[in-house]
Amino acid sequence: MPKIITLPGDGIGPEVTAAAVQVLREVAPDVTTEEHLIGGIAYDREGQPFPDSTRAALKDADAVLLGTVGGAQDSDWNKLERKLRPESGLLALRQALGCYANLRPVRVQPGLEHLSPLKAELARGVDILIVRELLGGVYFDQDRKIEGSSAYNTMRYTTPEVERVARVAFESAQQRGGRLTSVDKANVLEVSELWRRDVQALHDRQYPGVQLNHEYVDSVAMLIVSNPSRYDVIVTENLFGDILSDLAAVIPGSLGLMPSASLGDGPGLYEPIHGSAPDIAGKAIANPAAAIMSVGMLLRHSLHRNDAADRVDHAVSLALRSHPTRDLGGQADTATFTRAVMDALSVPAT
């Protein structure tokens, strides 16, 4: 019997997670869920953003479903020393799970092209998967310091780190359109030279059937919004992936439409990419679509139930057209949208 650890977290996290769990239980009634603390609420109750009790619970998990962490910019949490802030709990969670590959699908839902800031003809049919390295690079390297009026951080990668995330990207491309774009800045950064060399070598050894293209990050930042349909799968390192995936997230029209999966050595971690939205927390109007679509990714990648995942994705697509939430220009609240998804689960895909 699969066991899913749920970490609702802060802000709107508990609201969207509850909606996602409702859908999960409908399509996978044999799954058990167990709730634990993460983020700011974990600090308030246990003095740590990633408590030992949560860490221990992960040992028996088949997957982890996360809500959101953090508060408003003026939150007391942001006045804590860095290791006690909610976001530090998230980084510790990713490390504990060994999640080195973050998958962010960027898909414009049919019929919702008008919500995109891009022209409808550019947004129509966009379906990109961004694979971001998640445990290395400048965010995690310990060679960092502030020294008076100067400071430095170090970006470092090894061949095994590059190869393991590139392998995820190549295999994803094989299951999609067969095209992979590797993003770097090899014209000025030695670490990017290593990245490009290792991705190309892995392609030549194991994935010659995938069409591989290397592009600079500044070029991709322009093209992903001016010609997004040129991309199928994108793979890149942590910092570039953070920026590009957030940039691409605006294409569907709302962060509420952006799920994610973080995969690696242990149970997969699934979460919507939107923030905790403290300004609407507790008002029952948050869009749970991304959290529900994260359940779809959980079913697909961790439980290997593709039929159930397809049901969830199809139901969300129908609900978005029939009951759009307020961030999408509609009037549906969290409960209304969730009911629409539940009702649509029985509608077969055409």
- How far is Cα 326 from Cα 338, in angstroms, rounded to an integer? 14
Q: Does the CA dihedral 135-138-140-142 come out positive or negative? A: positive
**pLDDT tens by residue, 138-190:** 988 889 999 999 999 999 999 999 999 999 999 999 999 999 999 999 999 99
Structure confidence at residue 350 (pLDDT): 61
pLDDT value of position 141: 86
Look at residues 165, 180, 167, 192 and name the one whose alpha carbon lies nearest to residue 262.
165
Contacts with 336 (C-beta within 8 Å, 6 or more apart), sequence order = 323
Q: With contact defined as beta carbons under 8 Å apart, do 93 and 65 qualify?
A: no
pLDDT for 267-288, tens place per residue? 999 999 999 999 999 999 999 9
- 99 three-state secondary structure: strand
Per-residue pLDDT of the chain (350 residues; tens, 9 = 90+): 899 999 999 999 999 999 999 999 999 999 999 999 999 999 999 999 999 999 999 999 999 999 999 999 999 999 999 999 999 999 899 999 999 999 999 999 888 898 899 999 999 999 999 999 999 999 888 899 999 999 999 999 999 999 999 999 999 999 999 999 999 999 999 999 999 999 999 999 999 999 999 999 999 999 999 999 999 999 999 999 999 999 999 999 888 899 999 999 889 999 999 999 999 999 999 999 999 999 999 999 999 999 999 999 999 999 999 999 998 889 999 999 999 999 999 877 66
- Positions marked catalytic: 139, 185, 218, 242, 246
Does the model's pTM come out above 0.85?
A: yes
pLDDT of res. 263: 96
Task: Please list the alpha-helical segments (H only) found in 77-141.
Answer: 86-97, 120-123
Q: Which residues contact 18 (CB under 8 A, 6 or more apart)?
A: 8
